[in-house]
Amino acid sequence: MIVWLVVVLSLSGFSGVGGGSASPAQTIGQGVTVTPASGWVSAQDVWNVGPNAVSLKHGGALVAFAADAFSGTTQQLLDDQLSSTQQQFGSFRTLPVGSTTVAGGRSALKVLFSGTSNSSDLEGELVAVATGQTGVVMLAIAPAGQIAQLQGDLDSMLNGLVIPR
């Protein structure tokens, strides 16, 4: 499905400050459209997530959105992506999976996690939704203590997703 993890390309070495205006809305796989929040710019230079996906950066945080054909459940998609993400970290810990909504009311699942990579303490959020024959995933990673500060932006981008019916 969505093979995109070379994820922690060493955030310890990534300290680019996201400046400038937001990137324009971008269409990724399956016709899904993502609109970056203000201040988020392309992270293609530090995190190439491949086709059907887009990566963005803001300060020391990275977020990627990916969409592809998927015929399983939202729980299966989340489990697959969480397993892939866990392999990229040491000392990986998660909070319980929670329900949320994305794209104007579609049911999704999310999990917050923390771990270490390249001696850096990181935290992140993984959100998955499977609808029709499309799976959409958002993965956000930041230095410890920053995800909460970015939650409004992440929620805005998730709520602004356009997923064709």
* 21 — pLDDT class (breaks 50, 70, 90): low
* 22 — pLDDT class (breaks 50, 70, 90): low
Please determine, for residue 7, whether its predicted confidence score (pLDDT) is greater than 50. no
Task: Please give the residue that has the higher pLDDT: either 140 or 117.
Answer: 140
Beta strands in the chain (DSSP E): 26-27, 33-34, 41-42, 53-58, 61-69, 90-94, 98-102, 106-117, 120-131, 134-143
* 119 — pLDDT class (breaks 50, 70, 90): confident
> Which pLDDT belongs to residue 90?
87
Over range 11-21, report the average pLDDT.
43
Could you tell me what percent of the chain has a pLDDT over 90?
81
Share the mean pLDDT of the chain.
88
Task: Please give the residue that has the higher pLDDT: either 147 or 6.
Answer: 147
Q: What is the CA radius of gyration of the chain?
A: 14
Angle at the Cα of 131 (from 129 to 135), degrees rounded to 5? 55
> Which pLDDT belongs to residue 18?
43
What pLDDT, in 10s, does the model give residues 124-141?
Answer: 999 999 999 999 999 999
Cα 100 to its chain centre, rounded Å, is 14
pTM of the model: 0.87
What pLDDT, in 10s, does the model give residues 60-112?
Answer: 999 999 999 999 999 999 999 999 999 999 899 999 999 999 998 999 999 99
Query: Would you kindly state where each structural domain of the chain is located, as residue ranges?
Result: 26-159
Architecture of domain 26-159: 3-Layer(aba) Sandwich (3.40)
Structure tokens at 40: 């988020």
